[in-house]
């Protein structure tokens, strides 16, 4: 009979949308709570946003002291839709929530899987059920009320986390009637199942879930520690960078930039990423048209810059096709021992519209930036941050980025006209991409 009751409980949970939880005490029941939340996107992601979400909490109706029960939080109604700026890829969204426990038992942390269908622009957000295990330590009625939650969204260029918290009192949720039983003397709440949220400090990516934007309130996804203990991979956090490109790009350009490092002997292989596929091309761009490079500024124990560069686009970009800059790589060989910070600095884009023609060099100074990564370094013989280079971009050009073509060079003049359109594209599209800036709420 006990086995049959457990099977029945699981079936009931499935029918109720409780993601198949199995309870050892009694069948699971679900209760909903609708409440307002305030969501804070990551740095550079725009202003905080308020919305209304509906959460369903599934837990056993009754249990006894000493039982460990499964609890599930499902987002029935998200507080907003995805933005109109970027599609969210499959299996990119991972939610984490905190359920307030009545009777002074604290909070229960519940975590969802990184599992979701592709979410188009403006489409409703989809979050997986968040699950956790609760150990019951005292008799009485225990209320489970949904509260704050985080949403981490992972893109190819980083993970971004948005933090959402209730506005006002939250009413509703599940209740467990706990009867006296064997006392296990264990603590309650806080035990989690599922993977921990990954940081990013996502978004770029712009998405909202259950009243949250993806991107992420505090940027996670990018820890800023490095150095010892056998660790080899050091992910950086995305930082919003403003570039001043002079008259070539009126108003300057902005983009999230992430610096990642991988230890290679005593040196570090760097990879720098910017926003991807942010805008459609206004004109067809040939293969090899765009080649980026950047100076990574060193601070703390070391000084100078490290040059990183990326390959040109391997394939032609059709009219209205997505425009991206390639990942930029380089090597940093520490010249000093201690904590060294790495920040995005000067960006250069070489634009070549026709094979054999001189590239147009577009220099952009970082008007504002921030630390993306911090490493604990050990000085290496011959190491220095000041002139380390792994491929600098070359090309002729004035400070305005306009190459001399010659009066009779009709092809060069036409190419220059296309480049002008491309530069405008880069300034008004790729780099101004902030996926969390325009959150569209569904109230």
Question: E-assigned strands of 5-139?
Answer: 28-40, 49-60, 62-64, 68-77, 93-101, 106-112, 130-135
pTM greater than 0.75 (yes/no): no
- Main-chain phi, psi angles of 321, to 5 degrees: -80, 160
**Residue 253 forms beta bridges with which residues?**
243
Distance CA 249, CA 86 (A): 23
pLDDT of res. 90: 92
Q: Are strands 62-64 and 174-179 parallel, antiparallel or unpaired?
A: parallel
Q: Label residue 156 exposed, middle or buried (CB < 10 Å: 0-12, 13-18, 19+).
A: middle
Distance CA 349, CA 362 (A): 5
pLDDT of res. 255: 84
pLDDT of res. 152: 87
Other beta carbons within 10 Å of 94: 27
In the 8-state DSSP scheme, what is residue 187?
-
Cβ contacts of residue 429 below 8 Å, gap of 6+?
A: 278, 279, 280, 323
Structure tokens at 273: 């990423």
**Ordered mean pLDDT values, 10 residues apiece, the chain (443 residues):** 38 30 55 91 70 93 92 90 79 94 88 94 90 92 93 78 90 90 42 36 36 35 46 91 76 84 94 76 79 94 94 87 87 94 93 81 89 94 58 34 31 38 40 34 36
pLDDT of res. 442: 36
- Main-chain phi, psi angles of 438, to 5 degrees: -115, 90
| C-alpha gyration radius of the chain | 26
Instruction: Catalogue all structural domains in the chain, each as residue range(s) with its CATH number.
Output: 27-214 (2.60.40), 233-430 (no CATH)
Structure tokens at 293: 């490079």
Structure tokens at 75: 């987002």
If we measure between CA atoms, which residue out of 438, 371, 359, 339 comes closest to residue 404? 359
Distance CA 398, CA 13 (A): 68
Distance CA 317, CA 191 (A): 49
Structure tokens at 170: 């939250």
* Contact status, residue 235 vs residue 372, Cβ threshold 8 Å: no
- Main-chain phi, psi angles of 3, to 5 degrees: -65, -40
CB-based burial, 378-410: b 16+ in 10 Å, e otherwise: ebbeebbbeebebeebebebeeebbbebeeeee
Residue with tokens 């837990």: 59
* Contact status, residue 270 vs residue 296, Cβ threshold 8 Å: yes
If we measure between CA atoms, which residue out of 27, 87, 18, 24 comes closest to residue 55? 18
CA 374 to chain centre: 19
Q: Label residue 108 exposed, middle or buried (CB < 10 Å: 0-12, 13-18, 19+).
A: buried
Q: Are strands 267-273 and 253-264 parallel, antiparallel or unpaired?
A: antiparallel
Distance CA 417, CA 409 (A): 13
pLDDT of res. 157: 65
If we measure between CA atoms, which residue out of 68, 39, 37 comes closest to residue 55? 37
User: For residue 221, what are the CA distances in angstroms to 47, 159, 217?
Assistant: 20, 5, 12
Distance CA 256, CA 205 (A): 10
Distance CA 204, CA 121 (A): 13
* Contact status, residue 112 vs residue 130, Cβ threshold 8 Å: yes
pLDDT of res. 221: 36
Tell me which H or E stretch contains 11.
helix 2-15
Distance CA 149, CA 211 (A): 10
Distance CA 134, CA 101 (A): 10
Instruction: Quickly list DSSP for 111-137.
Output: EE-S----B-TTSBP--PPEEEEEE--
């Amino acid at each position: 009979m006990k086995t049959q009751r457990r099977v029945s409980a699981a079936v009931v949970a499935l029918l109720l949308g409780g993601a198949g939880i199995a309870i050892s005490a009694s069948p699971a029941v679900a209760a909903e709570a609708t409440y307002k939340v305030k969501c804070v996107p990551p740095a550079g992601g725009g202003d905080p946003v308020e919305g209304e979400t509906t959460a369903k909490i599934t837990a056993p109706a009754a249990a006894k002291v000493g039982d460990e029960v499964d609890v599930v939080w499902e987002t029935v109604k998200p507080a907003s839709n995805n933005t109109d700026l970027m599609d969210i890829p499959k299996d990119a969204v991972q939610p984490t929530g905190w359920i307030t426990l009545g009777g002074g038992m604290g909070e229960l942390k519940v975590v969802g899987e990184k599992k979701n269908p592709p979410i188009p622009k403006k489409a409703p957000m989809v979050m997986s059920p968040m699950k956790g295990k609760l150990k019951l330590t005292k008799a009485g009625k225990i209320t489970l009320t949904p509260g704050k939650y985080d949403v981490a969204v992972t893109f190819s260029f980083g993970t971004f986390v948005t933090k959402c918290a209730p506005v006002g009192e939250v009413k509703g949720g599940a209740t467990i009637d706990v009867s006296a039983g064997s006392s296990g003397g264990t603590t309650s709440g806080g035990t989690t199942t599922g993977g921990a949220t990954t940081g990013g400090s996502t978004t770029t990516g712009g998405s909202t879930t259950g009243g949250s934007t993806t991107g992420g309130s505090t940027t996670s996804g990018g820890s800023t520690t490095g150095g010892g203990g056998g660790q080899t991979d050091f992910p950086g956090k995305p930082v919003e960078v403003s570039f001043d490109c002079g008259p070539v790009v009126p108003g300057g350009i902005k983009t999230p930039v992430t610096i990642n490092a991988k230890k290679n002997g005593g040196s570090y292989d760097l990879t720098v990423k910017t926003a991807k596929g942010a805008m459609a091309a206004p004109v067809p761009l040939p293969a090899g048209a765009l080649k980026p490079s950047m100076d990574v500024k060193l601070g703390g124990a070391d000084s100078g810059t490290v040059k990183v560069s990326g390959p040109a686009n391997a394939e032609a970009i059709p009219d209205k096709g997505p425009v991206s800059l390639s990942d930029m790589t380089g090597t940093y060989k520490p010249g000093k021992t201690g904590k060294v910070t790495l920040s995005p600095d000067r960006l250069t884009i070489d634009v070549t519209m026709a094979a054999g023609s001189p590239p147009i060099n577009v220099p952009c100074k970082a008007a504002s930036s921030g630390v993306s990564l911090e490493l604990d370094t050990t000085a290496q013989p011959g190491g220095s941050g000041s002139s380390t280079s792994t491929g600098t971009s070359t090309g002729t050009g004035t400070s305005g980025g306009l190459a001399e073509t010659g009066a009779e060079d009709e092809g060069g003049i036409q190419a220059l006209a296309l480049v002008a359109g491309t530069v405008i594209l880069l300034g008004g599209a790729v780099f101004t991409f902030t996926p969390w800036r325009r959150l569209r709420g569904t109230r």
